[in-house]
Structure 1
């Protein structure tokens, strides 16, 4: 049996990949980065000393190790990417940038059943982000997994369009970050946004075939992990600052919803934050009863405990600094359970 097999984000977790902040590099604010983060034209980049950046990276590595140790205590196999030095020049077609990090496998890789898919990411600095994970991908392929990659995008300037002041992706080629997807068995919810276009949804729909239904939704500007989570069949965790009962995806509206509206602000260590305070609800489920939450998010833990979940606090200091929480910085490659329809 393939060592890759996961249809949702809530089945009993057996194996997971956790990213690394080692050698994190701040790329230039090119057209794609400005588009993704909504940066103003006069943005000149981060002003941070080497010592401060080194401290932030070390603290993040400590927190990721704490996450790995916690998961190991639950019997989960934890895998890590190969060491990589980021920041070397990267030139494709008519643009040049520098590689960014290998911190967030959830963004660059999508697991659907026994398929592991390299996503066609729209930010140029993330063009080679799957490379530090290639050793694991080769291993998973040898075990029987289907290793797929979306068409490698050109990412021309025309990709980065605007509707008024709202950044949107042109429909020139398939584009999406894997973190745009909410997985619910045979139903996948694809967030059409600044990090995923309808052409990307169409490509994924055709590749996965008739076993899966890819629903197009639009519930936030980019990734869904700070807006909506499926905790178990019939139960959602929802961002009360962005969603209402009417904007929950239609197939899920009759589910029980835990509304969360009081995230703690962890602050950020660079000149500007890569994520809002809602990164505090970027949680990771071990199973249908156990959820790992950032240690400072005590109100979130309280709400989950009130609803019968076990909330496991783990420190994570730099979610806003790097723009990713526990869900972003991990990729579950094997969970118990088979292909089911939950909606």
Structure 2
């Protein structure tokens, strides 16, 4: 049997990959960065001091150490990538940039069943983001996992399409981040957005084969982890500012929904935030009745308690600074349970 097995976000967690803040390098603000983060007009003028960057990295690693202890106390094996080298420049024939980080395995990798898939990401600075995880991918492959990589995208200027009120990615090649998906056993919900297109959904559909059903949705501008979580079959955690009953994917309507009002604001250390306050609902489940939650999100914790879920508070200071929470910064590679039809 493969060591890799995970088909949802709620079965009891056994093994996880946690990213690293080491090597964090904010990239130049090119079209792909503007497309994803939608920063202020003067974002290209940002100058992050060496002391500020050092503090963010050190404090994030401190928070990851606390998170690792919580996970290990729950019996979870924690794996880490090779730290990337800071300021690592690279280029293709058409553009050049700097590698951003190895913070968020949830974005660059996707686990479905015994498959680990390298995602064809739309941001140029993340083109080689799976490289720090290659040692782990090799281990998982040697232990029986199916290791797939979507086609490396060209990421031409025409990729980045701006429409009134929002931005999308063009359909000239398959594109998606792993965090565009919401896994529910045999059903995978794929968010068509500025980080994933319909051609990406179709590539995933064909790669997974007839065991799975890939449903397209458009519930937010990029990743789904700050908009909708499946806490367990029949129970959702949803962003009240972005969703209503009618905009929840049709297959999940009728499930009980905990509606999150605006979360607490953690603030940010750089001159502009890489995530909204909704990063506060980016949670990580240890199982169907225990969920790791940012320690300052008291209202979210009380909501979880109201349905019999134990919140496990953990410090996390820089989710808005670099644009990721507990779910973004981790990748569950093994959960107990079987492939099931939950709909």
- 1:10-36 CA-partner distances (Å, limit 9, x unpaired): 000000000000120010001100111
3-state SS, counterpart of residue 230 of structure 2: strand
- 1:242-288 CA-partner distances (Å, limit 9, x unpaired): 10000010000011101111300000000100000000000000000
Query: Shift in Å at residue 87 of structure 1?
Result: 1.7
Partners of 1:174 and 1:158 in 2: CA distance: 14
The unaligned stretches of length 5 or more in structure 2 are: none
Q: Which residue of 1 aligns with 2:303?
A: 303
Structural mapping, 1:68-217, within 5 Å: 68-217=68-217
- 1:174-196 CA-partner distances (Å, limit 9, x unpaired): 00000000000000000000000
Query: Shift in Å at residue 83 of structure 1?
Result: 2.1
| 2:339 maps to 1:328 | no
CA contact (8 A) 1:237 1:257 kept: yes
| 2:21 maps to 1:21 | yes
- 1:218-252 CA-partner distances (Å, limit 9, x unpaired): 00000000000000111000001110000010000
CA contact (8 A) 1:93 1:154 kept: no
3-state SS, counterpart of residue 211 of structure 1: coil
| 2:235 maps to 1:235 | yes
Partners of 2:202 and 2:155 in 1: CA distance: 18
Q: Which residue of 2 aligns with 1:316?
A: 316
TM, length-normalised to structure 1:
0.99
Partners of 1:285 and 1:221 in 2: CA distance: 24
- 1:47-71 CA-partner distances (Å, limit 9, x unpaired): 2211111011100010011111100
3-state SS, counterpart of residue 279 of structure 1: helix
Query: Shift in Å at residue 38 of structure 1?
Result: 1.7
Q: Which residue of 2 aligns with 1:249?
A: 249
Partners of 2:251 and 2:231 in 1: CA distance: 15
- 1:195-235 CA-partner distances (Å, limit 9, x unpaired): 00000000000111110000000000000000000001110
Q: Which residue of 1 aligns with 2:57?
A: 57
Partners of 1:166 and 1:290 in 2: CA distance: 36
Query: Shift in Å at residue 40 of structure 1?
Result: 4.9
- Number of matched pairs: 343
Partners of 1:147 and 1:45 in 2: CA distance: 40
3-state SS, counterpart of residue 263 of structure 1: coil
Q: 1:104 to 1:216 in 2, by over 3 A?
A: same
Q: Which residue of 1 aligns with 2:338?
A: 338
CA contact (8 A) 2:290 2:309 kept: yes
Q: RMSD in angstroms over aligned alpha carbons?
A: 0.9
The unaligned stretches of length 5 or more in structure 1 are: none
Query: Shift in Å at residue 321 of structure 1?
Result: 0.3
Query: Shift in Å at residue 42 of structure 1?
Result: 4.2
CA contact (8 A) 1:274 1:322 kept: yes
3-state SS, counterpart of residue 39 of structure 2: coil
Q: Which residue of 1 aligns with 2:3?
A: 3
TM, length-normalised to structure 2:
0.99
Query: Shift in Å at residue 164 of structure 1?
Result: 2.4
Partners of 1:51 and 1:242 in 2: CA distance: 36
Partners of 1:295 and 1:105 in 2: CA distance: 22
Query: Shift in Å at residue 169 of structure 1?
Result: 0.4
3-state SS, counterpart of residue 65 of structure 2: helix
Partners of 1:266 and 1:43 in 2: CA distance: 21
Query: Shift in Å at residue 84 of structure 1?
Result: 1.5
CA contact (8 A) 1:28 1:98 kept: yes
